[in-house]
Amino acid sequence: MAAASLRKGNARLPPEVNRAIFVRNLPFNISSEEMYDIFGKYGAIRQIRLGNGKDTRGTAYVVYEDIYDAKNAVDHLSGFNVANRYLIVLYSQPNKMGKKMDIRKKEEEITKLQEKYGISSKSSP
């Protein structure tokens, strides 16, 4: 297996490599069993979380037992066709997601303060 050869070579993995991967562009009606069939080929899976909310449909998090299995899945499944949809498979990076949320929160606070004090966000020349 390719993962075993990576371990033996003592290869260094990039810092973004993670056991948890984020999958986008999934068919809305995909089942957990189908997800295990697709992603289980690349290693032991600890958990799969399918998005079921209005804004999270078509996404999932897949957590592997081993980091090399997750790398193998990302390498092989990115662009994989499932029900005429090409998967987007990325490493989960919660730190970056948190930063995006913080920026949105700050922008909302600034907008509220601008409205409260009657300041226009557009600068006039």
Residue-wise pLDDT for 38-84, tens only, equals 999 999 999 999 998 888 899 999 999 999 999 999 999 999 999 99
Q: How many residues does the chain have?
A: 125
Distance separating alpha carbons of residues 4 and 17, to the nearest angstrom: 17
Give pTM, 2 decimals.
Answer: 0.67
- Residue 16, pLDDT score: 73
> Is residue 21 within 8 Å of residue 90, measured between CB atoms?
yes
Tell which wins on pLDDT, 124 or 118: 118
For residue range 23-32, what is the model confidence (pLDDT) as tens digits? 999 999 999 9
Closest CA to 65 of 121, 99, 19: 19
Range 3-34 burial, b when 16+ CB lie within 10 A, else e: beeeeeeeeeeeeeebbbbbbeebeeebeeee
- What is the overall mean pLDDT for the chain? 83
Domain residue ranges of the chain, discontinuous segments joined by +: 16-93
Domain 16-93: give its CATH code: 3.30.70.330
